[in-house]
Structures are given as C-alpha cells and as structure tokens.
Structure 1
Amino acid sequence: MTESRPAVELKGITKRFPGVVANSDVHLTVRAGEVHAVCGENGAGKSTLMKILYGMQQPDEGTIAINGEEVRLRNPQDAIKAGIGMVHQHFMLADNLTVKENVLLGAEGLHGIGKAATRKMAELAERTGLRVNFDSLMENLGVADRQRVEIVKVLYRGARIVILDEPTAVLVPQEVDALFDTVRAMRDQGYTFIFISHKLDEVRKIADSATVIRRGTTVGTVNPREVSSRELAEMMVGSQLPSPETRESTVTDRVVLRVENLRLNAEDSERAVLDDVSLTVRAGEVLGIAGVEGNGQTELVETIMGMRKASAGRIELVDAEGNTRDITKLGTLARREAGIGYIAEDRHRHGLLLTRPLWANRILGYQTRRPVSNGRILDLAAAREDTRRIVSDYDVRTPGVEVAVGALSGGNQQKLIVGRELSGDPVLLIASHPTRGVDVGAQALIWDRIRAARREGLAVLLISADLDELIGLSDTIRVMLRGRLVSEADPATVTPAELGSAMTGAGESHSLPEDVA
C-alpha cells in the first residue's frame, strides 16, 4: 500500500543552460512505497530533473526534500547517502568483470569483499529475481539479468528510492512482465520507484501515480489507471498517441539488398556469431528482424555496413538504375556512397560526434557528396544551410545549428540522424532501433518519415526491440535466434506474445505457430 508521507519533494526546480531553460518551476511529489512515473517528450526536461535529483547537476532555483528533510545534493555520492539510486538506460557495467565485482566496485567499504558481502548480495539477488552465479562474467549475461545486476548495485549501496530510466527499452514482453513483478514486490516491501518512460501503456500498467512534464514545466499529476493512453499523450505533446501501423502495401518485385549464406565467426574462435544468414529486401518493403538482444542482430547490421568483415557469404546491393554490385569487400564509406543510409543502434557511439555542432554532424558519412561537398572540398555554408532545413523539416528542437549535438535531448538527436540519413537519397535504409528512448512525438515523426520513404520505393531493414513498432511498420518479419534466421511471421496476424515467444526459443521448435509463420 502507498504510504501518505512523501519520499521525494521537488519544489520550484529551475535549471537554465545557455539558450535553453531545461526545467522551469517544476514540482514533483513522490510518496514512499509507490511507483511514480515521470512522463514527457524528449526535451521536456525529464532527464535534467532526474540528474538534479541524483546530484549530477545543480538547480538554479528550487528545493529538494528527501523523507521530509531538505537536502542539497552536490554529487551522486550525496544522493546515494540520502538513499537514492539510479539505474541508467545505458547500463553502467564493466563486461570484463564478474557480477560480484561489478556490484562491489566503488562500494568495497560497505560490507567488505568477503562472506558478508556475498551474503548481502545473495539476499538482494533473491529480492530482485537475479538468479546467476556471482562469478559469471558480465559479458555472458542477457540484457534482463544485466538490468537486475544494476538494480542490485543500487540496493547494495542502501538505496530505498530507485530511479529507473527507460528500463524496458531493450526488453521483450516476457522480460518486461518479470521486471514489473520485481518492482511490485519491492514496492510492497517499502521501496519507492521513480519510473521514467515514454511507453504510456507500460506507465498505466505499473505506475501508481504519473507526473507529466511538457517543455520543462509540470503539467499535472494523475492516476494512470483513471486516464487513457490517449489522454496521457495529449498531456505530454498535445496530440493523439501515434501508431506505427502501416495499412497499404508498397512492396515491389525489385530486390535492393541480397544477403546470401552470410557467416561471421567470433573474433576469438571459429564459433559462428552469424550462421548461414540469407535474406532479401525489396524496394518499397520494410523487412523487420526480431530477436532478443545478443542473438546476432547487431553483428548482422555491422557486417552489412562493412564495420565487420564477413567470414563467408555474399552481400549485393542494387542501385536505382537496376545495377547489381557486390559490396561484400567494400569499406563502410563506399557502402554508404553506394546508397545505404544507416540509423545506428547506439547513436552516441556510431551516429554522432557529441561535442561537435549540428552542422558538423550533418556532414558525417556524406563528406564526399552534395550538398555538403563537391567530392573534394567541403562546403560548410551549404552544410549549415542544409542542417537548418533538417532542423525545420524534422522538428529538431535546438537554439541553432551551431549548438553541440550533445546538448540536445535523445529524441532530438535521433530526429537529426533520421533527417540526415533520409536526405542522402538512399536505396536502402538500415534502421536499428530507430525510436529507442524517444518520446511519442519524436516516435510519430520518425514512423511517418520511414513510411513516406517506403512509399517512394525505399527498401528498409528494420531491427527493433519494440514489438509493436516491428509489427506495425514491417511488411515481413524474420526472427533471429543464436545467429540464425529461424522463422518468418506475417505482421498482419502475429501477436507480440507469439513473436516474443519465438524470439526466446520457447518450446521445442523455434518456429512460430503455423497460422503466423
């Protein structure tokens, strides 16, 4: 049951950056023993507000009270001492260390490093449902167990208030259900959760209360079970909840991408990371790849893009004039010049230079092509002008094109990337988790632009952990398991539960039911 006293009270929080007011007089009250969602589009100020609560940034105005006592959180260490923990969307784990070492790192003084530490860890692992050997290397764990390790880490440090930042972004439906069971059980034990999400159906499913922030200001707090997803969306962005559903078929007979018998061996062995993968994508088609993360989707994309060298197999690309080109041995830039647009899975690692301005990021991957280059010399004035066009056409919210792209919210960074990649007139777009971590407004725009490009004949290879997105946008879905394409599904008939089951290899067969395979 939700207690009456507040665990967290933020009053009048204001935070200004050069040219931007990220938070303006924000009020948030989170009661002890509840799951409280904070909703808002990217750029609304959610992340800044949580960084302030976790001591990563200081407010210009306003006060913070924890369990009724006003505090000043000068850094994350102050927040941890106040009983606050944060599980970041991008996990803060060292793959080359064991589970135990990851939990202990930086907290060796709490319970030592011996039996007392192991007992405490075992107790918390039981509480969170983490059932792994503490001596297991982190790199061998699936994404759901990695997330539980993150939760164990913050609890080990004494957190009673846990911030979950987009916790379901990389989970399949069954893993989401398991996470929610864990959160409910811990809530019943008196833990308090602040749940950051743009998935409104999940907010309504897990949260006891929800506070909506729009353009840096508190809009209101509601009981999510008493409002619809549409009403929540209207509070967030002033529009209806978008749908990824694609009704009309635009698939043609013209093959744009042909992958034949592709194999990729692990760097340290002859073990196949990709094993005999064959697929085709046609003009006007969205081919969706479903799979639990770690089953070869990332390697497939990076091999097609030339970021990894195939051990065997062939990759062919057909240009707009119908000319077939073997690109198996080409470098990444040559493949992009041949007509491949690329929305990377990790926009920070492979899509952007965070410290550089928007116009410089417009040039990335297009430094040999117009309008930013004549093939030999960059045209910086043209790059700035075309970046302004993308900012306008794709609703990238920024004070200007000279701003460092790292200062933008995740959704606005993603809209810039989508605008850049679709501006290059690609024949094939590889879209890897194109709406991960973005709000409903940015999500709707990205879906609309992919659908519009598809109608114009663009071939799209879509990889997504959002099964509604995958089903809604795709013309065909292939399921990837342990580096192989194991089954095919019709998006018109398959359900997220059936797709999730196939992704996890449930049952004796890896195939979907006959009526959907």
Structure 2
Amino acid sequence: MRAIGKSFPGVRALDGVSLTVGEGEVVALLGENGAGKSTLMNILAGVFKDYEGEIEIGGEVARIHSPKDARGHGIAMIHQELNLVPELSIADNIFLGRERAFLDRKGMESRAAELLRGLGLDLSPRTLIKQCKIAERQLIEVAKALSQNVRVLVMDEPTSALADAEVHRLYEVIRDLTGRGVGVIYISHRLEELEEIADRVVVMRDGRYVGERSSIDRDELIQMMVGRPLGEMFPRAAGGDTGEELLKVEDLSVPGEAGSGRTALRSVSLSVRAGEIVGVAGLMGAGRSELLEAIFGVHRPAGGAMTLAGRPYRPRSPRHAIARGVALVAEDRKAQSLVLGNTIAFNASLPSLKRFLRFGVVAAKKANAEVERQVRELRVKTPSTRFTVGNLSGGNQQKVVLAKWLLTAPSLILMDEPTRGIDVGAKAEIHALMSELAASGKAVLVASSELPELLAMCDRILVLCEGRITAEFGRGQATQEAILEAAMARQQVMTL
C-alpha cells in the first residue's frame, strides 16, 4: 500500500500511509484507537471504495473498490466488529456471498465442521450465530476467512475475546498460514502478543505512519503510539484496605441456554468486600459472563442465595439490580451497553434518568451537566456530549459506558472484559479508574481473559472451569501457569 489517503467529512483519517507485507510474514499494525489502522485495512478489504494512493498485490497494481475485488485478489479480513448474521447458521455465515444457483448444503456443512475443528470449536455447523458466545463468534470469523483462497489475511483484534488457550490455538493457525506463504497483517492492543507472533511492527498515530521496528521494546512502542511516555500500565498498589463484606454468593447455580443441555454455573460461592477488586478467570465457556449477569439479574438462578450489604439479594431484573446499587460493564459494549445511533448524553444518562425527574419530566439541563462532568473526568475525546456514540473510537465508547454507570452511584461494579479492544492509553486510564473506585470503597468484580491484567489489578483471583470454581488465589500468589492449570481442571477447589 503506497501513500494511502482517506478523508471523511471534517476528518483526515489517513495521510500518505504506506505499508508493505511479504509472503509468509506477520506484520503487526499498532496505534491508539482513532490512529487510522482499521480505516487503512478497510481500504485494503474493499470496504471503502474511494481513497488516494495505490495498492499492489504480487508486484501488480490492484484496483480494489469493493469486498468482491478484495476477495478476487486473495485478501480476507477478520473485522474487529464481527461481521456475522445472527439469524443464520455458522455454515451459512462462513459461505455467505459465495453461493451458487443450487446450494451444496451437505458440502458446506462438512467444510464448515472441518474449519471449526481446526480452531478447536466443538460446535455444529447448523448452530445459529445468535446462540454463540462472543469468543466463539470471533473464531467463526477466523473460520470464514480461512475458507477462502487467501493470500493476505488481515486480523483486526482477533484475540480480544479469547482466553490464553484459544489465543495459542490461533497462533498455531497463523503459523500454518505463514508456512504456506500467506502474508498476515495483525492489529492488536495486546503488546505481549507481539514477541510471539510478529516479524515486524508498524506504528501509526493520528492517521500517519510513525515508524517500524523489527524488535519489540514495549516502552518504545507505547511512546511511538501515544507520543509520550505512558507511565505505569497497572497502577494498583498492593495491600489496600478493605471494608465490610458487600456481596456474598452461596451455591449459585444457573442453567445454560434452553436446549443446550448444560449448566452455566454449578454451586458457585464467592464474596467481595468494599474496597476490593476480585478477578474471575477461565477459558471460553467457563461461565464468567453468566456469573456477572446472574448477579446483575439477567439470569434467574436455579439455586443458591446472595446477600448485598448484609441484606438478602434476589435481583428480579437489571432494573432491580441498578436500584440496589449494582452496575454491569458488559462484555459487548456495542450490543449490550450502548445505543450507537444516539448521543453521548443520551447513553450516559439512560440508567439514571430517575435522578433527574421533576414532576415526571427530565430536567435536561441538570442531566447534561452531570454527563459533561463525567465526560471531563474520564477524558472522553469528543467535541461535545451531543456527539453520536457510534462515531467514537472503541476506547472512548468504553469510557461512555463507564460514565453511564458511575452516574448511578453504584456500590458494586461488575466488569466483563473492561479493556477488550481498546488501546494502551485508554486501557491504562481504565486501570487507574478501577484503582480509584476500590480506594473510594466500591467493590469491583472483574472478569477478564487477559491474565496480566488480573494478576496486576486484583486482590484475589477466582478461576472458573465448566461453571465451577476450581481455584482461588490471593494477591501475589498466582501465576499465569497456575491459573491456566486451574482453568482446565475438573477437580476440587484449590485455595492459596
């Protein structure tokens, strides 16, 4: 890609960016949210048909102005915002757009099953996408890309919803592809992945090429990305004071999805104290999200009991949970936390409108003032609170989600993958906020597939495997290896 430029109304998204990828090479593309990485890759994938500059494939000029053009040149892209049709099956999604007059459904399902097995997914090709978890959908996107005769594969945050075991399986797939001469462009905010997978790192900032490196120096790459030294990534100090037990869960059981024949949670017991950050680790399907959602009133438990601030707590719905001072930063912010077509002010004030009612009418001036205060404190990059949330970067969207819940003044904050798909600068700010919340006496229960995040930020870490707690570690007592061993265990609970 040579001297690529792209403008949107009022924004110069790309300014003369060049990028080269060799056969069998993995090039990592780094930059903060809004740096232009996804825009550059969307041009390569034919999503944006109008652009400046030139693209060459195999030494020949390639005119790419549609996804069909890109496929014709052997270019496939796994988008950060998953590009799947929820109402269709896995097989239908994998081969969507490549159907013939008569569908060879048996052949499609056989090939889909083969691709799923290769990615370690035990799913029927006939399963509907809407029945799949976020991590499963991410791997299905990988299967969709691999089903094509690919020469260049773009992977935009492919591991953002995956636990370590699934990440390493994906690495094996990438190594197999590069061994066959496929060039891979790999966008990730997880800097720890680069040493293992990348041959070269290219850094962008503010729509421009900043530089590239063949060796991985974390501090140097961060400074190139953000234009300044970032400081401490995980700012939580050890040994913080904790208060009274705020949440207690005893023998909580939650059934799985209807027709799945499985139990999501089995006799789970835990507690979280005021001023404490408790982490939840586990592989895909272990029950992390179901645990947080059950506490938030999304799922009706089949058994067990909960207390909140010493009183019985049986949330009938999320509305009931919010009224009791519980907030949930959901795993999928776009589908579960935000109304993308509406403004920051609308989204941030939505669960706390009752605070601003005067004689049945919302006091808009007061509500907007509170939203603006939260936006300033969280440093959301936006021209105003009237800006549409869908046009913000991923990191700034996540800050709006946090602003929304902080306006409800919660005592217990549940966080499901709070730093998924956001850049290192925004990630550091969210870590700092978690520390501030705990220091102010809030209780925080956080589920994350990023083990370094849990190890650095949490006072205790619980490990789930197939809906059961298989280990509990105190601060400074866990290692990534010990957590992974417990995440794949089926024996009785270990406590350290």
2:13 match: 22
Asked whether the equivalents of residues 23 and 49 of structure 1 are also in contact (C-alpha less than 8 Å), the reply is: yes
Where 1:268 maps in the other structure, the secondary structure is: coil
Aligned equivalents of 1:444, 1:86: Cα separation in 2: 28
Asked whether the equivalents of residues 165 and 283 of structure 2 are also in contact (C-alpha less than 8 Å), the reply is: no
Q: In the TM superposition, what is the alpha-carbon distance from 1:504 to its structure 2 partner?
A: 2.3
Out of 425, 430, 450, the position equivalent to 1:441 is: 425
2:397 match: 413
Asked whether the equivalents of residues 36 and 207 of structure 1 are also in contact (C-alpha less than 8 Å), the reply is: yes
Q: Kindly indicate whether residue 444 of structure 2 is the aligned counterpart of residue 460 of structure 1.
A: yes
Where 1:349 maps in the other structure, the secondary structure is: helix
Percent sequence identity over aligned pairs: 34
Q: Kindly indicate whether residue 489 of structure 2 is the aligned counterpart of residue 500 of structure 1.
A: no
Asked whether the equivalents of residues 27 and 218 of structure 1 are also in contact (C-alpha less than 8 Å), the reply is: yes
2:251 match: 261
Aligned equivalents of 1:355, 1:154: Cα separation in 2: 29
Aligned equivalents of 1:291, 1:110: Cα separation in 2: 44
Structure 1 segment 318-467 matched on structure 2, within 5 A: 318=309, 324-369=310-355, 372-374=356-358, 376-467=360-451
Q: Kindly indicate whether residue 39 of structure 2 is the aligned counterpart of residue 57 of structure 1.
A: no
Q: In the TM superposition, what is the alpha-carbon distance from 1:360 to its structure 2 partner?
A: 0.6
Query: 1:211-258: per-residue Cα shift (whole Å, max 9, x none)?
Result: 1111221111221xx241111111011223643263332342401112
- CA spacing shift, 1:359–1:176, aligned 2, 3 Å: same
Q: Kindly indicate whether residue 195 of structure 2 is the aligned counterpart of residue 211 of structure 1.
A: no
Aligned equivalents of 2:359, 2:276: Cα separation in 1: 31
Aligned equivalents of 1:452, 1:130: Cα separation in 2: 39
Asked whether the equivalents of residues 315 and 321 of structure 2 are also in contact (C-alpha less than 8 Å), the reply is: no
Worse-superposed segment, 248-257 or 156-165: 248-257
Asked whether the equivalents of residues 368 and 376 of structure 1 are also in contact (C-alpha less than 8 Å), the reply is: no
1:509 match: 491
Aligned equivalents of 1:230, 1:395: Cα separation in 2: 23
Where 2:441 maps in the other structure, the secondary structure is: coil
What 5-or-longer segments of structure 1 have no aligned partner?
1-8, 319-323
Aligned equivalents of 1:71, 1:135: Cα separation in 2: 34
Letter in 1 for 2:218: S
Q: In the TM superposition, what is the alpha-carbon distance from 1:454 to its structure 2 partner?
A: 0.5
Q: In the TM superposition, what is the alpha-carbon distance from 1:147 to its structure 2 partner?
A: 4.8
Out of 209, 218, 221, the position equivalent to 1:232 is: 221
Q: In the TM superposition, what is the alpha-carbon distance from 1:167 to its structure 2 partner?
A: 1.4
Letter in 2 for 1:405: V
Q: In the TM superposition, what is the alpha-carbon distance from 1:284 to its structure 2 partner?
A: 0.5
Asked whether the equivalents of residues 56 and 74 of structure 1 are also in contact (C-alpha less than 8 Å), the reply is: yes
Asked whether the equivalents of residues 164 and 283 of structure 2 are also in contact (C-alpha less than 8 Å), the reply is: no
Aligned equivalents of 2:376, 2:172: Cα separation in 1: 43
Aligned equivalents of 2:51, 2:135: Cα separation in 1: 37
Aligned equivalents of 2:386, 2:132: Cα separation in 1: 41
- CA spacing shift, 1:366–1:35, aligned 2, 3 Å: same
Worse-superposed segment, 384-393 or 408-417: 384-393
Q: TM-score of the superposition, structure 2-length normalised?
A: 0.90
Letter in 2 for 1:357: T
Q: TM-score of the superposition, structure 1-length normalised?
A: 0.86
Asked whether the equivalents of residues 279 and 447 of structure 2 are also in contact (C-alpha less than 8 Å), the reply is: yes
Aligned equivalents of 2:189, 2:67: Cα separation in 1: 25
Q: Kindly indicate whether residue 236 of structure 2 is the aligned counterpart of residue 252 of structure 1.
A: no
Where 2:224 maps in the other structure, the secondary structure is: helix
- CA spacing shift, 1:118–1:477, aligned 2, 3 Å: closer
Q: In the TM superposition, what is the alpha-carbon distance from 1:377 to its structure 2 partner?
A: 2.6
Q: In the TM superposition, what is the alpha-carbon distance from 1:403 to its structure 2 partner?
A: 1.3
1:484 match: 468
Q: In the TM superposition, what is the alpha-carbon distance from 1:311 to its structure 2 partner?
A: 2.5
Query: 1:6-30: per-residue Cα shift (whole Å, max 9, x none)?
Result: xxx1423222234x33223322222
Q: In the TM superposition, what is the alpha-carbon distance from 1:468 to its structure 2 partner?
A: 0.8
1:11 match: 3
1:221 match: 212
Question: Alignment length, in residue pairs?
Answer: 493
Aligned alpha-carbon RMSD (Å): 2.9
Worse-superposed segment, 205-214 or 325-334: 325-334
Query: 1:15-52: per-residue Cα shift (whole Å, max 9, x none)?
Result: 2234x332233222222321111101112121222222
Q: Kindly indicate whether residue 454 of structure 2 is the aligned counterpart of residue 470 of structure 1.
A: yes
Letter in 1 for 2:154: I
Aligned equivalents of 1:129, 1:354: Cα separation in 2: 31
Asked whether the equivalents of residues 28 and 201 of structure 2 are also in contact (C-alpha less than 8 Å), the reply is: yes
Out of 89, 101, 105, the position equivalent to 2:96 is: 105
Aligned equivalents of 1:275, 1:394: Cα separation in 2: 37
Aligned equivalents of 1:438, 1:271: Cα separation in 2: 33
- CA spacing shift, 1:260–1:150, aligned 2, 3 Å: same
Aligned equivalents of 1:306, 1:125: Cα separation in 2: 33
Aligned equivalents of 2:140, 2:236: Cα separation in 1: 38
Aligned equivalents of 1:200, 1:110: Cα separation in 2: 46
- CA spacing shift, 1:330–1:122, aligned 2, 3 Å: closer
Structure 1 segment 156-305 matched on structure 2, within 5 A: 156-223=147-214, 226-237=215-226, 238-240=228-230, 242-244=232-234, 246-268=236-258, 271-305=262-296
